[in-house]
Amino acid sequence: MQLIHNEMPILGMGTFRLEGDVAYNSVKMALELGYRHIDTAQIYGNETQVGKAIADSGIERSELFITTKVWNAHLNEHSFLDSVRESLDKLQTDYVDLLLIHWPSPENNELMDEYLNELINAKNQKLAKHIGVSNFTINLLEQALKILPASEIFTNQVEVHPYLTNEKLRSYCDSKNIHVTGYMPFAVGKVLKDNLIIEIANSKGVTPAEVVIAWSIANGLSTIPSSTKRANLLTNLAGESLMLSPDEVIAINQLNSNDRQASPEFSPEWDI
């Protein structure tokens, strides 16, 4: 499996919208199939189930890469670190490999200095090996880089898929050597029904999901699709070894229509 920064598997399993036994069973199955990168968040409400699945897997902690994200209500000096410790208790681990600011949208309008300094404190206290951000636009990254160096931002996790290629933001991240992790790679299943992607998949004897994963990786992204089905988890894994031609990658890039799936009311002003 390819690694980012020699540590993070390029393909991970996302757990957004997975709850209760479904979350537990899905993560446990993913680990059995060979996934070693698991992505969760405080707001997903499944850190306990993710932690139990990891514990029950018997896999050495050093073999895993676990990401969680701090929610908007905790982006302040009073509850940030306590919320991280609570996450670690639920995940049954002493540290996460990557701790992210989930949204640049503190509930009480705290300044970025405050919550990014708390993020640094979490790393300094060894609650997280690496730190980063999620859903940060170019403008927000420019603000962040006045507070901490780009070398501290392990990744910016943002929505990226063939219908939302986010190229302007990705180009900016590349210029600052900030790795991009793309979430919702299938656009909630929409791109799996696209005629071009189906055509490419049929020509190679693979699934549309494999084509989308291969496209993400060809664009230099990490990606974290979620699934509850064994067959889908396997095809997602298989996508890492699929090679697309440069022309195929370009053709898929051109499907971009800025069709964003995740844009809650507290979202920043997105780059277009």
* Cβ contacts of 229 within 8 Å, gap of 6 or more: none
Would you say residue 270 lies in a domain? no
Secondary structure (H, E, C), the chain: CCEECCCEECECEECCCCCHHHHHHHHHHHHHHCCCEEECCHHHCCHHHHHHHHHHHCCCHHHCEEEEEECHHHCCCCCHHHHHHHHHHHHCCCCEEEEEECCCCCCCCCCHHHHHHHHHHHHHCCCEEEEEEECCCHHHHHHHCCCCCHHHEEEEEEECECCECCHHHHHHHHHCCCCEEEECCCCCCCHHHCHHHHHHHHHHCCCHHHHHHHHHHHCCCEECCCCCCHHHHHHHHHHHHCCCCHHHHHHHHCCCCCCCCCCCCCCCCCCC
Would you say residue 268 lies in a domain? no
Indicate the average pLDDT of the chain. Answer: 97
Which two structure tokens, joined as six digits, stand for 55? 């514990």
The model's pLDDT over 85-121, given as tens digits with 9 standing for 90+, comes to 999 999 999 999 999 999 999 999 999 999 999 999 9
Would you say residue 262 lies in a domain? no
Cβ atoms of residues 36 and 61 within 8 Å: no
* Overall average pLDDT of the 193-203 stretch: 98
Which two structure tokens, joined as six digits, stand for 50? 């993710």
Place of tokens 């053709």: 251
Would you say residue 267 lies in a domain? no
pLDDT of residue 129: 98
Model confidence band, residue 272 (pLDDT cutoffs 50, 70, 90): confident
Q: What's the structural domain count of the chain? A: 1
Phi then psi for residue 17, to 5 deg, are 70, 5
- In angstroms, the CA 117 to CA 121 distance is 6
Domain that holds residue 140: 3-253
Q: What is the CATH number of the domain that holds 97?
A: 3.20.20.100
Would you say residue 266 lies in a domain? no
- In angstroms, the CA 157 to CA 182 distance is 6
Exactly one of 44, 95, 172, 183 is catalytic; which is it?
44
Would you say residue 271 lies in a domain? no
Task: Decide the pairing of beta strands 13-14 and 8-9.
Answer: unpaired
Would you say residue 265 lies in a domain? no
The model's pLDDT over 20-76, given as tens digits with 9 standing for 90+, comes to 999 999 999 999 999 999 999 999 999 999 999 999 999 999 999 999 999 999 999
Would you say residue 263 lies in a domain? no
Task: Decide the pairing of beta strands 37-39 and 153-159.
Answer: unpaired
Model confidence band, residue 219 (pLDDT cutoffs 50, 70, 90): very high
| pLDDT(247) > 90 | yes
**44 included as an active-site residue:** yes
Place of tokens 């757990």: 15
Q: Which of 242, 237, 249 is nearest to 11 (CA)?
A: 237
* Overall average pLDDT of the 164-177 stretch: 98
